[in-house]
Amino acid sequence: MAEMKKQTVAWGNWYEICCRYLFPAILFLYPLRHIHLGLDLWDTGYNYSNFQYMGMEHMDPMWLFSTYLANAVGFLLSKLPFAGSLLGMNFYTGLMVSGLALLGYYFCSKVLEIPRPIVFLGELVAISLCWCPTALLYNYLTYILFFAGTALLYLGLAREQKKYLILAGVALGTNVFVRFSNLPEAALILAVWAYGWICRSKVKKVLAQTGWCIGGYAAVVGVWLGWISLRYGFGEYVSGILRLFGMTETATDYKPTSMLTGMLLPYLQNLYWVKWLVVLVIAGVFGFMVLPGRFTRMKKIGFAGLTLSAVGWLYYRGFCSLIFSDYNAMLRPGILFLMLCLVVCGLLILGRKTAKETKLAAGLVVLVILLTSLGSNNGVFPSLNNLFIAAPFTLWQIYLFCRSKAEYGLPGLKKVKLIFYPAKAMAVSFLLVFLFQSIGFGTGFVFVEAAGAKNIDTKVENNDILEGIWMSADRAEWMTQISAYVSEQGLKGKEMIPYGELPALTYYLQMPPAFNSWSDLRSYGVEAMEEDLEELRSEIAEGKEKPVVIVENTYMVWENSGRAGLVEMGLPEHKVTQVETDVKWELLKSFMEEYSYRQTFGNEKFTVFE
């Protein structure tokens, strides 16, 4: 007996050590696993360029003001020690994900009282599904403040403390200045009314709670508007935001209808897989009901085998991929998990015996999943990137369901019981697939131009910004060659106009953009580019040195070989059409002809004009 007690105490000590120290340490370090891998010519360097060159001189005002706080925080990070490189900035921005995971770990375990091992597993999954580069602070700061607003709203309602409700409003109001399209997140305040209905609260009390939230929201919006007005002028801010509303003329995927369709369509498409799994569960339930009770063990073994066969069928039919450097490794399992989250939370909300605090948490999870994707043109991908509350909560509820021995009677047929072993077996099987695919994706995927990096085995040795970064051999060759040219010609620090899908060069080559790092982006309209080029002409007339122009070779192939050349490159049809009909490229060519630009450098990827 003494020996058994000693073993129990020893295990208890190890359990506490894991929960208190090991799990938080892993959640802190895991988001930093890829900071030295991959060279992304799109979003990563583009955002770091905006941080380094923040301001009206080098940035498009629309993006300066629509993502103001993200740029401001990024600017501050760029001034920290060792931040003068891609590796250093990846480290600092990676800490945002570490912070999110730790916030989730402590909130879910201490406030929602979910067992810490389950929370740890949920946060590990949430980190693994963070496909978005950490350089996109307008996403990760959004998730942090959205998390804060959700947690504070829960505390304010569950504990009936107005200070938390005010702070929840402050967090949600601040989030509008991280990314203007976060406006729909204000709908989270609807949880006040939903919880009031659950608790049968008086209307006066609900109105007061709503008022505290809205008061905090309005107050902080006023503060940030005041600061921006003093810093840049209120008119400049309004002008930049109005341009944001006008960009849907060229970037149609930002229209509200397109964003809503993009969010709902993946759920509808995934119903194909859901229906077969549901049919199998229903068949299993009726099989358990029909066959005699003495065959219970045989029925369980048989259905477990059938469930494993269903898992094999999912892999055989391409439900997910074992190539973990690709989105297909996690996309369908991830969407199915989101659907499972919504179903579980919906059942909890409707359940008569569900505790009111659990209903509140479930309702907030539903709002987080749905609202995270609003304001984005990436469909459900943002929701997959923001599971820091939803994943632990859903795993916990499924665990409770699987542990439960409850049976349910059919309405009007009290003698007929539904035995939920098949549903539990299917839930466990799917979660094992989901966890395996998520962790595999988390360890194998590195974002590079909206795809996964491959063949990461080479470094660039002549560029301080890229020191310590591993990439594919072809990318290393491109960057080595152009970095050598920029160094030899003394171009570092000179303004440049990048054109093509290479906005990151402004950061990697340390050449500030003349007016916009991503001039070919659809959300940057033709009229805006005309205005910027006209302003640049005026500055050149006053003695300013003309900027260097660096063009992606796709456009040079178009100029030299036309459509046939683009097709031979293997470009998809939409990309060929985009280059063919690019009015902004014609504007830039006219500008270069006007100022007698000539080609001074070229390699497989880039062409330089001076």
Predicted confidence at residue 391, as pLDDT, reads 98
Predicted confidence at residue 281, as pLDDT, reads 83
Residue 7: Cβ within 10 Å count:
10
Using CA atoms, how far apart are residues 521 and 122, in angstroms rounded to an integer? 36
**Mind listing the pLDDT tens digit for each residue in 571-598?**
888 889 889 999 999 999 999 999 999 9
Using CA atoms, how far apart are residues 64 and 335, in angstroms rounded to an integer? 32
Predicted confidence at residue 342, as pLDDT, reads 96
C-alpha distances in angstroms, 256 versus 14, 266, 369?
A: 51, 17, 17
Let me know: does 334 contact 382? Beta carbons within 8 Å.
Answer: no
Predicted confidence at residue 3, as pLDDT, reads 53
Using CA atoms, how far apart are residues 488 and 509, in angstroms rounded to an integer? 12
- pTM more than 0.75: yes
Q: Is 386 exposed, middle or buried (0-12, 13-18, 19+ CB in 10 A)?
A: buried
Predicted confidence at residue 347, as pLDDT, reads 92
Let me know: does 427 contact 300? Beta carbons within 8 Å.
Answer: no
Predicted confidence at residue 131, as pLDDT, reads 97
Predicted confidence at residue 357, as pLDDT, reads 96
Using CA atoms, how far apart are residues 60 and 236, in angstroms rounded to an integer? 11
Eight-state DSSP code of residue 174: H
Strand partners, 418: 408
Predicted confidence at residue 415, as pLDDT, reads 54
Let me know: does 108 contact 389? Beta carbons within 8 Å.
Answer: yes
The list of the chain residues with pLDDT below 70 reads 1-12, 248-254, 289-296, 299, 406-418
Reduced to 3 states (helix: H, G, I; strand: E, B; else coil), residue 168 is helix
Using CA atoms, how far apart are residues 546 and 537, in angstroms rounded to an integer? 9
Question: Inter-axis angle of helices 137-158 and 86-106, to 10 degrees?
Answer: 20
Predicted confidence at residue 387, as pLDDT, reads 97
Q: Is 97 exposed, middle or buried (0-12, 13-18, 19+ CB in 10 A)?
A: buried
Residue 5: Cβ within 10 Å count:
9
Residue 382: Cβ within 10 Å count:
22
Predicted confidence at residue 5, as pLDDT, reads 53
Predicted confidence at residue 220, as pLDDT, reads 97
**Mind listing the pLDDT tens digit for each residue in 425-479?**
889 999 999 999 999 999 999 999 989 999 999 999 999 999 999 999 999 999 9
Let me know: does 238 contact 225? Beta carbons within 8 Å.
Answer: no
**Mind listing the pLDDT tens digit for each residue in 182-204?**
999 999 998 999 999 999 999 99
Using CA atoms, how far apart are residues 134 and 125, in angstroms rounded to an integer? 16
Let me know: does 356 contact 188? Beta carbons within 8 Å.
Answer: no
Reduced to 3 states (helix: H, G, I; strand: E, B; else coil), residue 551 is strand
Cα-Cα-Cα-Cα dihedral sign, residues 183, 448, 128, 423: positive
H helix and E strand count, the chain: 25, 10
Predicted confidence at residue 248, as pLDDT, reads 61
